Structure 1
Amino acid sequence: MLGRHAGRHAGRGPRQAAIARGQLTRAQHQPLFTTPPPGSSTSRPTAQQTKGRSPIGTPIRRLLPIRLALVRQLSGKPLPQRTSKLLNFGYRAAAWLGGSVVFVGIGVIGFFAYDASTYNTSHGHVDDIDVSAIALNPRRGGPKNLPMLEVFLDDDDSDEMRRQKEKPRLVILGGGWGSVALLKELSAEDYHITVVSPTNYFLFTPMLPSATVGTLGLRSLVEPIRRIIHGVGGHFVRARAEDVDFSARLVEVSQTDCQGIEQRFYVPYDKLVVAVGSVTNPHGVKGLEHCHFLKDINDAREIRNKIIHNLELACLPTTSDEQRKRLLSFVVSGGGPTGVEFAAELYDMLNEDLIQLFPKLLRNQISVHLIQSRDHILNTYDETLSKYAEDRFARDQVDVLTNSRVSEVREDSIIITQKGADGQTITKELPMGFCLWSTGVSQAPFCKRIAAKLATAQANRHALETDTHLRLNGTPLGDVYAIGDCATVQNNVADHIVTFVRSLAWKHGADPENLQLRFDDWRSVAEQVKKRFPQAVAHLKRLDKLFAEYDRDQSGTLNFGELRELLVQIDSKLTSLPATAQRAHQQGQYLAHKFNKLARATPGLRANQIVEGDLDAAVYKAFVYKHLGSLAYIGNSAVFDLGKGRGIAGGLWAVYAWRSIYFAQSVSFRTRMLMAMDWAKRGLFGRDLMSY
C-alpha cells in the first residue's frame, strides 16, 4: 500500500509524504480501547454520556474514520460504497448507449469521409491518348469484306493493355454463368480477352422468380460485365453474334448504331468460347404470343407490371365479376424449378401483401394453376420431395394439374388436354388473365446456324455437341469450345470403338474388326473409355462381370461385335448433363483452369515442336460434372435434392438455408448487400407492388 502511495504522491514532495506516513504510523500504534486511570471520574460514564456510544467504546468510532481516510489518501482508491442493482444497471445501460452512439458516429463520419473521396473534384487536363489508326478506322476483310475489330480503342491505355495485344485472342460469346466463371478463374496475363454479348450485365437467374413479385429488386440480380472484365484486363463489345467462319477464325457480330442502322463487323479469334445460352422451347404450341417468358431481367419487369396491372383492373367498378375472375386467374405452364418457384412466389405475394393493400374480395377470387406434363412436378427431384411440394401447394390452394399438356393459348383462355385415371383424354378450357410459359429450353438461332455448318458432326437438334474436353465437334481441335445451356457433352462411347482397339490391333497384328480381346485387353480398353468419357466411370466398376456377361460364346474373349454391344449398353446409361447454372459454372471454371495450364505449357510444347494434335488431352483431364444438389423454393418452405435418394424439405429454416446458399453464390459483394437489404425491406415494409 505504501508503495502505491509513494507512486501516486510522488509529485507532492518529500515533506508532505513523510508527514502522511507519520500520521499513519501513529494511528496504527494507537490502541483501539483506552482504560481511564483508577479513580477517574470518567471511569464509569453516566447514562447520558453512554447514550449513542458504541458498546465497544468511543475511541473506535473516532479512530476508524481517521485510519480509513489515511488509507484512502495513501492508496488512492475510493472507499467501497453500496449501490442498488437498478442504479448499476442504469450505469451500464448508459455506458453501452454512449459507446454505441460513439461507434455509430465514427461509422457515419467514416462513411462520409470515404464518400467524399470518391468524387473527382479536380479540373485538371487529361493528357492526349495515343490511339491506333486501325482502331479508329478498321480495315476490311473476311469473306463478306466487313470491318475487322483487330485493335481496340483502349489497347494503349496502359502498359498492361499494350502487353496483352501480343497474347492469343480469346473471344467469349455471351455473359452468363459459364462466361463469368471463366473470367473469374482466368489468368489475366495469358490472353487478350474479348467478351461479346448483347447485354452489358450478368444476371443471377436463380432468383428471377423473386424479382417478378417484388421480393427482390431488379438491380439486386445484375452485375455490370465491364466490372467483371476489368479484373482480367479484357474488352467488352456490346453486340450480337450472328455467324462464325471457322476456317478464317472470324466471328460475325451485329449492332445497331446511333442512327438506327444495323452494322456488322468481324471479331478475330485464336480461341473461341460459345456460351450464348438457350431460348424457351415452344413445343409447337399455338398462341404463345399471349404468354410471358422468364429468361432475362426485362421478362421479370414485364411480368411484375402485368400482375399489378391485372390487380388494379380487378379493383375497378366497371369490371364485371366474370372479367375479374379471368384477370385473377394465373396459369403457369411447366412444373420444373422455374415454374414451381414462380407459383410459390406469386402465392406468397397474394397471401401476404395483396390481402393488406387490396380489397379482400380479390384474394377470394384469385386462382393459381400449375400445369405439368409428367406425373409429378419437380420430376427431376427425388419423388418424396416432389410429393412434399404437391402437398404444400394443395394446402395453399394452388391447383396442380399433372399429366396435362397445353394444346393452345388464346388471349383470354388456355386449352389443355389431361389424361385421366382411366386413360381417357379430357380437354379443358381455363380462363386466363396471365400465363407464364416455362417448359424447357431450345437452341438459340445463332447455334442453329453454326450447327448447320457442321451438319455431319452436329446431330443433336436441341444443343451443340462437344467432346468431353468441351471442344465443339466438327471444328479444329483447340479452336472452338461450347459451354452452358447451348451445349451438351456427347455420350457416344460406342462410336469410338475403333479408336479404343486400334493400338491393340496393331499390337496383335490383326484387323480391328477381327480382333479377339482377352480380359487384360478389355481392361486396357476400359481405362481408355474412362479417360475419354469420365461420366462412364460409374458403369465400369465391375469389369469382370461385364466381360463375363457379354462373352456370349464363353470363349474367354470378346470379339468386335460383343465389344460394340457392351459399349452401346454403357451409352444407354449415360444421361445428358442438366441445363442449369451449376453445370455452366463448373464448365466455365474447367475451361479457365485448362486455358491457364495450356498457356504455361505452350512454350515447352513449342520448344519440342509439338504444335498440333490433341494438346488439351496432353495437358489436362476431361471434364467431369459433379452434381452438388438442386434447390427449389416452395412458398415459405424449400426442398433440397442432394442426389442418390437423399433429400431435405422444411419450413422457414429451409427458406433461410436456401437464401444463404444463393446469397453465397452471388457474383459480387455489391449484389449480396442489395439482396440482404431487399429481404430486410420485405420483412419491414412488404413487397414492392408498383408498376413502372
Structure 2
Amino acid sequence: MIPRCIQRSHFALRLRRIDVHSYSSPHGLRFLTASPTPTPSGSRQFLRYGRKAAKYAAFTCFSAVLGLSVVIGGVFIHDVFTYSDRHIDRVPVSPLALHPECGGPNNLPVASVLVGDEDNSSLVPIKDKPRLVIVGGGWGAVSTLQSIHPGDYHVTLISPDTFTTFTPLLPSAAVGTVNVRSLVESLRKVIARVHGQLIHGRAVDLVMSERLLEVETVSVNGETRNIYVPYDKLVIAVGSVSSTHGVSGLQHCFQLKTIADAQAIRRRILDNFEMASLPSTSEEERKRLLSFVVCGGGPTGVETAAEIFDLCQEDIINYFPKILREQVSIHVIQSRGHILNTYSEAISKFAEEKFQRDGVELITSARVGEVRPDHVIYTTKDPDIGAVVEHTIPTNFVLWSTGIAMNPFTARVSSLLPNQVHKKAIEVDAHLRVNGAPLGDVYAIGDCATIETSLVSHLLELVEEACWTQDGKIDFDEWEIMVKRIKKKIPMASLHLDKVRALFDLYDSDADNKLNLNELAVLLQEIGNKITALPATAQVAAQQGKYLGHKLHLLAAKRDTLVANELPAGADEAVTGPFTYRHLGSLAYIGNAAVFDLGRLSFTGGLAAMYAWRSIYWSEQVSMRTRALLMIDWIVRGVWGRDLSRL
C-alpha cells in the first residue's frame, strides 16, 4: 500500500493541476514524481482573451439588437391600437350647453352647462359638484389643478392660451438652446386629470354679487363675444405684466414672459446677424446691429445676456464671418448697485466677475430714460461732481425686464373692492382669500396677489381678542396673547416677534408695564413695515397653488360637516392653517456656469453647477413628455449646436 503521506501529496498535486507520474525502484517500491503544467505562451494568452472579448462583444451586440427589436415591436404594437377606428355614437349633450340662457347685468349668455359636462358623467359625477373656476394657466393655476382630487369640484379653467409654459427656460428658448415646444404642455391634458373643462378666453370683469365671471372669447372670424361663467369658488392666477416705470419708448423693446416673446426675440437676434453679415452694411451700422441691451439685472435679464453670449461663442463664431463675433457687444443696465441684488452678496460678486471675464458690460446704478428705435438713453450719477450724466448706446435690440405691474383683469378686480390700495397686486389674507370679497368665494395666488403685511388694520380686532382691560391698556400677559393671534393671522410677522418681552419694554414709554392704544399702534406699524412681501417668482406661485389645491380638497371632503356646523363661509380656518412660504432657494444661469442661493448656503460653479441647474429645471417639468423633449434638445445642442435658421 502507498503510505498516507504520499497519498496526501498526490491529492495536493492534483488540486494544483500538476501532472503526476509513477515509477518502480529496484526494491519494488513505487514512487510518485510530478512535472508542472507548461505555462501557455503569450500568443495563446492573447487568443484566449480575444475569445472572451469576442464573446462579450457578441453578447452586447445581441442585447442591443434585442432591446432595439423590443422597442420597435412596442412602437408597432402601440400604432396598431392607436390608429384604429373608434366610433362615438349618441354623445350626450345638454340643451343648455348648446343654447345657453342669458342673464347677469349685461344680459350675456351664462355658461351654466358646458359642452363636455356629460362626457364623464358615468365615471365621475361632477356636473352637480360645486363650481371651481380658475383664471390663468401659469404656475399657480397648474399647481392648483395638480393638487385637487378628481370629483371634488366641477372645474373650469379660463385661459387666453391653450398651454402652460415653463417660464424659467424662456431665455434658453430665445436663442435656440431649447425648442419652444419643449417648454409647453397642453392645458387640456393637465385639466383632464380632474375631468375639467377649458374655455379659451380672457377674463375681463367680475360680478361678485351674482358669482359671475365675465369672459371675452374670440370666434373663428376674429369677432369677440362675451359670456358669463358662474362659480362657487374662484381662483385668480393671471400673473402680471412688466412695469414701465414711466419710461417712454417701450414699444421698441422686447419682453420675455411668453412663448411669443421668445420667438420674436429669436427672430430679431438672427435678423441682426444676417443683416450685419451683408457686404452693403457699414461698420457703424454693423456695430449697432450687434449691440444687445438688457434693461434689468434680475434673473431674467442676466440669463438672457448669458444665453446671447453663449450663442455668439458657440455658434455665431463658427457659421458667420469672424468679424461679427469681434464686434458683438452685450450691455446690462441695472438701477441697483449690483446685478442679482435679491441673491447673496457672494453670488452677485461671482456673476459680475464672470460677466467681466466674458466681456459683458455691466452698467449699475443707472436709470433708463428713453428707448428709441436705434439707441437707448440712460443716466448715471457722477461720483466726483454729483451731477447726472446722460449716456447713449446705439442698438437694434432692447430687452425690458424690470419689475412687475397689475394685469388688466387684476386691476379691474382691485377697483371693485374696498381697501385694495396695493399698486402691483391684489391684497389677500394669510389664507389667500381676496380682501374685501365675500369670505371663502374668491382667492388669488401667484404674481397677481400679495399677502397683507399691515398689522394696524387688525388693531381693534387683536385688542378685542386679547381681552382688553378696563383701564384702556394691555399688560404683558395680554400682549403675549396678541402675539399668538398675530402669528396666526400673518405668519410672515413671526420673524419679527421672537423677542416678545424686549418689544413690550421698548414701546412702553411710560414704564408702567402696560401699553396704551397709541403705543400699541406704533408698535404694530413698525413691525408691519419690517415685513418683506413674498417675491413674484414661480416658486411662490407653485407653493401657493399646492396649498390652495390641498385646502380646496379638504373643504370638499368635509363639506357636509362644515355645512352642518354652519361654517360654509369661514371654513378655511377649520380645515387648514394659514399659508406659510418655504424658500427652497434661487438659481440663475450665467453662461456655462450657474449660481444657487439656498438661504444660508450659497453655491457657485462652472460646468458641474450648470448641470445641477439643468437637473433641477428638468425635474420641475409639468410632464414626462416635456422632460423627454428637453433632454433631447440639450443633447442636440451639445452635438450639432443651435438651430440658426429663421422660421
Stretch deviating more after TM superposition (615-624 or 182-191)? 615-624
2:595 equivalent to 1:639: yes
What aligned pairs does 1:44-443 form with structure 2 within 5 A after superposition?
A: 84-120=48-84, 122=85, 125-160=87-122, 163-422=125-384, 423-443=386-406
Distance 2:148 2:568 in 1: 22
Question: Any conservation in 2 of the 1:155–1:161 contact (CA below 8 Å)?
Answer: no
* 2:467–2:478 contact (8 Å) kept in structure 1: no
**Cα separation, 2, equivalents of 1:56 and 1:426:** 108
Query: Contact 1:505–1:515 at 8 Å: present in 2 too?
Result: no
Farther-moved stretch of structure 1 (90-99 vs 563-572): 90-99
2:501 maps to: 544
Identical-residue share of aligned pairs (%): 48
1:90 deviation in Å?
2.5
Q: Which residue does 1:604 correspond to in 2?
A: 561
- Give the Cα separation in 1 of the matches to 2:99 and 2:615: 50
CA distance in 2, matches of 1:415, 1:639: 31
Q: Decide whether the 8 Å contact of 1:161 with 1:233 is kept in 2.
A: no
Q: CA deviation at 1:116?
A: 3.2
Partners of 1:378 and 1:308 in 2: how far apart? Answer: 28
- For 1:129 and 1:426, the matched residues in 2 are separated by 71
The list of structure 1 runs, each at least 4 consecutive aligned residues, that deviate by more than 3 angstroms after superposition, is 31-38, 80-83, 503-506, 609-612
Question: Cα gap change, 1:81/1:475 in structure 2, threshold over 3 Å: closer, same or farther?
Answer: closer
1:491 to 2:453 alignment: yes
| Residue from 622, 626, 631 that aligns with 1:676 | 631
**In 2, Cα distance between equivalents of 1:484 and 1:87:** 65
- Matched position secondary structure for 2:79: helix
Judged with a 3 Å threshold, the aligned counterparts in structure 2 of structure 1 residues 83 and 274 are, in CA distance, closer, same or farther, namely same
The Cα shift of 1:629 comes to: 0.8
Native 8 Å contact 1:629 1:643 kept in 2 = yes
* Equivalent residue in structure 1 for 2:547, among 582, 587, 590: 590
- Which position in structure 2 is the counterpart of 1:630? 586
How far is 1:664 from its partner? 0.6
Contact kept? 2:22, 2:32, Cα under 8 Å: no
The residue identity in structure 1 corresponding to 2:306 is: A
Cα distance in structure 1, aligned partners of 2:632 and 2:473: 68
The equivalent position to 1:619 in structure 2, one of 550, 575, 580, is 575
CA contact (8 A) 2:454 2:529 kept: no
Partner of 2:52: helix, strand, or coil?
A: helix
Question: Against the structure 1 CA distance between its residues 449 and 610, is the aligned structure 2 distance closer, same or farther, given a 3 Å change threshold?
Answer: closer
Cα RMSD (Å):
2.2
Q: CA deviation at 1:125?
A: 4.2
**Would you say the 8 A contact 2:124–2:151 is kept in 1?**
no
Give, in whole Å, the separation in 1 of the partners of 2:409 and 2:319: 45
Unaligned runs of 5+ residues in structure 1 are: 1-30, 39-54, 62-79
Q: Summarize deviations over 1:620-668 as a string: whole Å, max 9, x none.
A: 1111111111100011111111124x31110000000000011111111
Distance 1:572 1:162 in 2: 49
TM-score (norm. length: structure 2): 0.92
- How many angstroms apart in 2 are the aligned matches of 1:160 and 1:594? 27
Contact 2:303–2:590 (CA<8 Å) still a contact in 1? Answer: yes
| Structure 1 stretch displaced more, 425-434 or 81-90 | 81-90
Aligned in 2, Cα 1:249/1:312: closer, same or farther, shift over 3 Å? same
For residues 609 and 379 of structure 1, the distance between their equivalents in structure 2, rounded to whole angstroms, comes to 49
Number of the residue aligned with 2:38? none
Counterpart mapping for 1:493-572 below 5 A: 493-505=455-467, 508=469, 510=470, 515-572=472-529
Question: Aligned residue pairs: how many?
Answer: 617
Segment drifting more, 473-482 vs 547-556? 547-556
**Deviation by residue 1:33-70 (Cα, 9 ceiling, x = unmatched):** 589999xxxxxxxxxxxxxxxx999xx99xxxxxxxxx
CA distance in structure 2 between the partners assigned to 1:34 and 1:617 by the alignment? 105
Q: Distance in 1 between matches of 2:536 and 2:344?
A: 18
- Distance of 1:484 and 1:647 partners within structure 2: 26
Find out whether 1:452 has 2:415 as its counterpart: yes
Aligned AA (1:583): V
Structure 1 residues 503-541: Cα deviation after superposition (integer angstroms, max 9, x where no partner)? 3446x4x3xxx5221211111011000110111111111
* C-alpha distance in structure 2 between counterparts of 1:366 and 1:158, whole Å: 57
Cα distance, 1:160–1:588 mapped onto 2, change above 3 Å: farther
Q: Which amino acid aligns with 1:527?
A: K
Identify if the C-alpha distance between structure 1 residues 605 and 405 changes in structure 2 by more than 3 Å, giving closer, same or farther. same
**Closer/same/farther in 2, CA of residues 414 and 345 from structure 1, 3 Å limit:** same
- Are the counterparts in 1 of residues 476 and 514 from structure 2 also a CA contact under 8 Å? yes
Secondary structure at the aligned position of 2:509 is classed as coil
Q: Which has the higher strand share?
A: 2
SS at match of 1:481: strand
Contact 1:154 1:161 in 2 (8 A): no
**CA 1:256–1:161: 2 relative to 1, 3 Å:** farther
Please say if residues 110 and 230 of structure 2, whose CA atoms lie closer than 8 Å, have aligned partners that are also in contact. yes
Aligned-partner Cα distance in 2 for 1:504–1:222: 51
Listed as ranges, the gaps of 5+ residues in structure 2 are 1-20, 36-43
Note closer, same or farther for the CA distance 1:82–1:682 as it changes in structure 2 (3 Å cut): closer
TM-score, normalised via structure 1 length: 0.86
- CA 397–554 in structure 1, closer or farther in 2 if over 3 Å, else same: same
Pair 1:269–1:460, CA change in 2 (3 A): same
Q: For 1:516 and 1:668, how far apart are their aligned partners in 2?
A: 58
Q: State the 1:568 CA deviation.
A: 1.2
Q: Structure 2 CA distance, aligned partners of 1:252 and 1:163? A: 26
| Corresponding residue of 1:12 | none
CA distance in 2, matches of 1:503, 1:346: 57
Deviation of 1:82 after TM superposition, in Å, equals 10
Query: Aligned partners of 2:27 and 2:337: how far apart in 1?
Result: 115
Assess if the C-alpha contact under 8 Å between 1:239 and 1:254 holds in 2. Answer: yes
Contact kept, 8 Å, 1:155 with 1:162, in 2: the verdict is no
Per-residue deviation, 1:450: 1.6
2:465–2:482 contact (8 Å) kept in structure 1: no
- Displacement, 1:617? 1.6
**Alignment partner for residue 434 of structure 2, among 472, 476, 480?**
472
Q: Call closer, same or farther: CA 1:86–1:494 in 2, change over 3 Å.
A: same
Deviates more, 1:126-135 or 1:144-153: 126-135
Matches of 1:200 and 1:301, distance apart in 2: 17
Offset at 1:161?
6.7
